[in-house]
Amino acid sequence: MMKSLLLSLLYCASLLLSDALATYQLSAEDPQMIAAQSYAQSRNNGRPPLRTLNPSKTDSECRSRLLDLVFIIDSSRSVRPGEFEKVKTFLAHMVDTLDVGRDGTRVAVVNYASTVKIQFLLKDYFNKPDMKKAISRIEPLAAGTMTGLAIKTAVNEAFTEQSGARPRSKNISKVAIIVTDGRPQDQVEEVSAAARASGIEIYAVGVDRADMRSLQQMASIPLDDHIFYVETYGVIEKLTSKFRETLCEVKVEIVEDPCKCEARLAFQKKTQATIQQLTAKLTDVSGRIERLENMLGRI
């Protein structure tokens, strides 16, 4: 009886694993997934960010394009109080460069560490003085660095029409600017891919110890145009002029996810790793069952 039950369990596990492998193989051969893999490869081959300014452009010649803009700022323990004040100053200077208004650029701020807090939404402030006062009141959250959770929260709660984002029919660019100085303690690749596939353009700003690989996983492509790096928070304000040019009314050409399924590709990578773990466990269980059968046979 025991032997029969064990064999049945092993058989069922084998069928489940076989179905999972077959599903993964089928998806991997999907032409759309091949396109997504090619797109993902172009991301992985991205060069380190080399940003230069165009001296021919001046403030009067480059008016900020209208945006639904969400800042996602890291306030984990590694960001010292004085450094966090530098981040807030950077945000305030960025606001000064934007055409803020109900019918102009709308701004939200998502603050994160081990938890996530939406400081204000796109619908909350439509003038620069009130917005800058709200920024000055932001307090650091300390603790961990849950960047993936922060991106997911921004997509689900900050970029919604209920929170003040304009409908797609308005053709207003949706942009997220992530500022971090560390390595995420959760997964960012899949949630970032889903955000980009939904039409959100992501810029990743790394400071000091920021993990370059994570920045590449988060940012839109071309990576050279969407990853910034500064050595310390003391010079982060210098990025204001770079973003002024980047967010110019003339858009940088964005290479889109060819089938809007890069998020599926990231999910499949995770699924493949899980299947490999299950295969190893199944092999171990098979060996234990075989040893148990030998023991039962001797009884």
The neighbour count for residue 3, using CB atoms within 10 Å, is 12
Report the predicted TM-score, pTM, of the whole model to 2 decimal places: 0.70
pLDDT at 117 over 80: yes
pLDDT tens, position by position, 271-282:
666 677 777 777
Burial class (CB in 10 A: 0-12, 13-18, 19+), 56: exposed
Rg of the Cα atoms in the chain: 24
- List CB contacts of 271: < 8 A, sequence separation 6 or more: 20, 24
User: Looking at residue 244, what is its pLDDT?
Assistant: 86
User: Looking at residue 195, what is its pLDDT?
Assistant: 96
pLDDT tens, position by position, 48-93:
444 433 333 434 445 667 899 999 999 999 999 999 999 999 999 9
Residue 88 Cα distances to 12, 78, 106, 123, 138, angstroms: 56, 16, 17, 20, 8
- List CB contacts of 182: < 8 A, sequence separation 6 or more: 74, 76, 78, 145, 209, 210, 211
User: Looking at residue 247, what is its pLDDT?
Assistant: 82
243 in Cβ contact with 227 (< 8 Å): no
| pLDDT > 90 in the chain, percent | 54
User: Looking at residue 92, what is its pLDDT?
Assistant: 96
pLDDT tens, position by position, 207-244:
998 999 999 999 999 999 999 999 999 999 889 988 98
pLDDT at 283 over 60: yes
User: Looking at residue 142, what is its pLDDT?
Assistant: 80
pLDDT tens, position by position, 129-165:
999 999 999 999 988 999 999 999 999 999 999 999 9
Please report which confidence band the pLDDT of residue 254 belongs to, taking 50, 70 and 90 as the band edges: very low
User: Looking at residue 56, what is its pLDDT?
Assistant: 39
What is the overall mean pLDDT for the chain?
A: 80
pLDDT at 251 over 70: no
Please report which confidence band the pLDDT of residue 5 belongs to, taking 50, 70 and 90 as the band edges: low
pLDDT at 100 over 70: yes
User: Looking at residue 291, what is its pLDDT?
Assistant: 76
Burial class (CB in 10 A: 0-12, 13-18, 19+), 171: exposed
Residue among 168, 230, 180 at smallest CA distance from 76: 180
Answer with the residue of higher pLDDT: 27 or 209. 209
Instruction: Classify domain 44-246 by CATH architecture.
Output: 3-Layer(aba) Sandwich (3.40)
